[in-house]
Structure 1
Amino acid sequence: MGWGDLGAFGEPSKETPNLDQMAAEGMLFLDFYTASPLCSPSRAALLTGRLPVRNGFYTTNGHARNAYTPQDIVGGIPDSELLLPELLKKAGYTNKIIGKWHLGHQPQFHPLRHGFDEWFGSPNCHFGPYNNQERPNIPVYRDWEMVGRYYEDFKIDLKTGEANLTQLYLQEALDFISKQQASQQPFFLYWAIDATHAPVYASKQFLGTSQRGLYGDAVREIDDSVGKILRHLQQLGISENTFVFFTSDNGAALISAPKQGGSNGPFLCGKQTTFEGGMREPAIAWWPGHIPAGGVSHQLGSVMDLFSTSLSLAGLQPPSDRQIDGIDLLPVILQGKLIDRPIFYYRGNELMAVRAGLYKAHYWTWSNSWEEHGK
């Protein structure tokens, strides 16, 4: 999802009323970044609080243009990394991931081996269909059990874009929150839906409802789902005890199938690039009774900050035996402070750019591939 996909960030069709309301009731971050313009490294950075070049979750070169088949990937998040849910367990939290894991699909990388107590979703994106024995369709898990596969048990119609996955993920979230409220146990919910990732999908009730084509339909459904989750927290009487943060793992893809590309607002380029369109993300913090309504921050923020901020909320300290790149945003969110820090733009293991304050320096603009340079 891109910086310009939400009405609160200037999208002219104003088709995200729930996320816009979330922003009006909370704090909008205008200068918030992912740690990589690609899915997996940014998710690893969020859960470890560390740059991909530190946690080992990166490609081996700066361009990495070649596509990949998920079943061929053998790596995953190293056991040496401490993930956020592992640490939150120390404070008595129950942790659930819903949706896309994307940090390794081999058994040793399973999210329940890395701090999560529950999982409903897939180890990778909904690529496919493959329909062959060598490369079967991507599996869907409930905890340790595989409960089906994309395109077989969990249908995705590539012609129409119809799929019911976001509704399934929404219900999982509502049920988990209800269960935790009933047990009076603190919880961490990582709701990692992937409807705006090509091939884009939306459920039947949202198809054809947006001015922006299929991608807009998917955004509308995500918006509706976020609204239902926030209202559920309010109805259960736990919204003032629940910190919610909405963001994305990379900028919107601009070169995609017809009507499947998003908007990065006024910023250059998109996913897979370290220009602003590839790494600056929509970001909203919501915590009724704590965050003053209508806040707007120009703090340079990062998905890695969610690691340190979540630990702070739980009364925990980040591990001291490793470099943590994420900072605690609570002074920014609750007191309106600004913290001086740089933003590093990596593509693979190459440092492409650095932002400090109002200035950004590009060291390599990735105008040519390694193959072209070698000719």
Structure 2
Amino acid sequence: MSISLHKILFGAAPLSLGLLGLALPAELLAADETLGTVVVTGVRGSQQRTVTDSPAPIDVIDSEQLRSIGQNGLKEMLGRLLPSFNVPTINGGGTAFLVRGVSMRGLGGDQVLVLINGKRRHNSALINNGARVGNASVPVDLDLIPTAAIERIEVLRDGAAAQYGSDAIAGVINIILKRNAEGLTSDTTLGQYYDGDGTTGHEAFNWGNKLGENGGFINLSWDAKLQEPYERSSAASGQLYFKQADGSPDPRESNRQGWGTEYGLGRDRTTSLAYNAELPLEDDLKLYSFSTLSYRNSNKDLGTASPPTSPAWRAFPMRLTPTAARRGGKSTRPISRSPVVPRACSVAGTGTCRAPTARIAACSTRPTT
């Protein structure tokens, strides 16, 4: 019985192969080409902003999407809208707090080309020192661009070094300023942490009007951002020991336990202005101009200085905390306006040291861990 079944199966094989080679009716082929409803999951938001007819991934973000994020700076807005744009909240010590580095597609911020109306934006004058993301880079400070002046942002999330140069390895960000706004608009954003610190505020105004009779325009924007400091350090477990009567360090200062680094954000106050204007003169000739002007005042406590182990003069003795600051101004926290550490200072009982130079370096005896 098994032999006969074996012969029947092998005998039917040529017949089945022959049936597969038969031509199917045209109506049946047309019916197979019609697809049903295709449901795609994982879409970021309900609005389509990705250009689908381009071989490279391009995102177009308008001003309404930027406003809906509820963030103060442009970096935070892009970090929540772009899937490959990374903005760390605290990017390390040193000067990395003042101009936080960004990362696109895993590359540093100075490898992202930033354009304003198609023109290159200058990089920051501050090197990202001690950063976890983009260390030693000199990126464009996006937070100095008023968000109220932005009409849309075009982001190319792919390498474009062949077209734009080596600073576009990670991608290109083209910021288009407003040109058709009429009247005055304003936005206000306020926020605070549950612990009562870290207050954030953002106030933005924009005014636009027509210029001439041939489609010209002028647009003015003002933007102010506030970031108050917040601390998440634990209480200090050690004590502060002043110098002994003979001027030598207290031997108990050699114990490194009980002092450390203050964790949290510092204070940042930024004011930005921008204008964008265009005046057509003839059919193929127009006069245009745009610019931004910004002022930033920020400071952040750095890591504590090591305890003294010798009677030599020290700029920051007794676990005192120096502060990184930019663009001067008095601060309620310790602040050093000079990047050069003073050579000597005298210590009073209050823990305040003064450098015998033209610039003053202030210190604080507040212990941190």
Q: TM-score, normalising length from structure 2?
A: 0.23
Which is greater in Rg?
2
Which one has the bigger helix percentage?
1
Q: Which has the higher strand share?
A: 2
Q: Relative contact order (alpha carbons < 8 A, sep ≥ 6): 1 or 2 greater?
A: 1
TM-score, length basis structure 1: 0.23
